[in-house]
Amino acid sequence: MFDVNTEQIYVFNCEYLYMEGNLFTYRAISLSVTMKRAIVYHEDYNKYDLGTDHPLIGDKPKNTMAFLKEKSVLSEFIIFTPKKATEADLLKVHDPSYVEHVKKLSQTGGWLSEDTPAPKGIFEVASLATGGSMFAGEKLFEGYEVAVNPLGGFHHASKGHSSGFCFFNDIAITIEYLRQKHKLKRFMIIDLDVHHGNGTQDIYIDDKTVLNLSFHQDGRTLYPGTGSVETISREEATGYTVNLPFPPGTGGASYRMAFEEIVPPITRQFKPDIILYQSGVDTHHADPLADLNLTYQTYYHLAKSVAGLSQETCRKLLVLLGGGYNSVACIKSYYNIFCGLLGNDDFLEEEEIPDTDPEEVKNTVQQLKQYLSDYWSL
């Protein structure tokens, strides 16, 4: 009745042979798929804190873990303690002078950029966050099909400079680590944070082994200002950078429509060896830094779709929780992402907020399809 392979164990809870009229029958009362899932967490994660007046506060990973535990979701994951990335790991992506620069700032305290203070000790903490993503990525080669780093997804860090609260690009460093160690050939990034992943784009703009897909608020209205729909990479990597900018006020219905039109067909055609999902929730309507209007339930549906695509293609899903700056809304939104990953219907819901300009979203989706028409069937 079901295929059983070495990677998945199907567990049946059945009521056998109960009487129904005159017929003996049996009924499967529940069917659950036991899948190995990992989450990495370190008690020093709370030291990734950019100050009391800064939107990035340190206790988010800890509060997320506590909420997941309270909601009985954490027990579906094996918890691992990550180690710091080494300097050699950082240098797989970053320039030596940049790594030195961050190290020096970290000794004295200072500013990496106008929006990014560099508190003392940040070099070690940012290396730990990076190590967390690498560690979680490695778990996908030890029989785990989903692995989460709650302090990951620092997509604004480029090779030699950074801003946007990011020091090291853990997404790219993890890709380079896995490329070297496991000889992977096709990496897919699904970056749904409200900000464009400009650092990751800079790193992979010429690399067709990395399909970098970013959904974000239009750069004309939000930091970092990049990620226009016509940016689809160049030369032989054309079509491997995909940007979908949304107008301010976009709600869940339009966002999900756009996701379904673009992400599943590209993923199926690209056939990734691994999916890296930057699942930032600063798209939520209550987020203080941006202007999209996604609701809790949207995160459930998006995460469920991404998890389904991973199951269909590579069965290796690395989830990096990314941005989110309303401390209540982001914990609840992350929880719904976990519900989506688990297919757990016990997700939180709130009233939908109508899209302010659904027509513009439709037009941008059509434009993107046009730009990509030589590369993907959409």
* Site of interaction with Zn ion (CB under 5 A): 193, 195, 280, 282, 323
Q: Is 156 a catalytic residue?
A: yes
CB-based closest residue to Zn ion: 323
- Which ranges of 122-233 would DSSP assign to H, the alpha helix? 122-139, 170-182, 198-204
Nearest-angstrom CA–CA distance, 107 and 115? 19
Give the separation between CA 8 and CA 146, rounded to whole angstroms.
13
Locate 33 and state its tokens. 């798929």
Whole-number minimum distance, CB 280 to Zn ion, in Å?
5
Given the residues 156, 196, 284, 285, the one annotated as active site: 156
Q: Tell me whether residue 64 or residue 313 sits nearer to Zn ion (CB atom).
A: 64
Query: How far is residue 105's CA from residue 103's CA, in Å, rounded to a whole number?
Result: 6
Nearest-approach distance from CB 209 to Zn ion, in angstroms: 25
In whole angstroms, give the CA distance from residue 69 to residue 207: 40
Residue closer to Zn ion by CB (options 272, 323) is 323
Instruction: Name which of 214 and 254 has its Cβ closer to Zn ion.
Output: 214
Q: 256 and 264 in contact (C-beta within 8 Å)?
A: no
Provide the minimum distance between the beta carbon of 330 and Zn ion in the complex, in angstroms, as a whole number: 11
Distances (CA, A) of 93 to 81, 90, 130, 171, 310: 24, 6, 12, 10, 25
Helix (H, G, I), strand (E, B) or coil at 250: coil
Question: Measured from the CB atom, is 195 or 332 closer to Zn ion?
Answer: 195
Residue with tokens 């030369």: 235
* C-beta closer to Zn ion: residue 176 or 193: 193
CB of 282 to Zn ion, least distance (A): 4
- Closest CB 196 distance from Zn ion, rounded Å: 9
- CA atoms of 284 and 293, how far apart (whole Å): 6
Q: What is the dihedral of CA 250, 371, 306, 269, to 10 degrees?
A: 160
Q: Which residues are annotated as catalytic?
A: 156
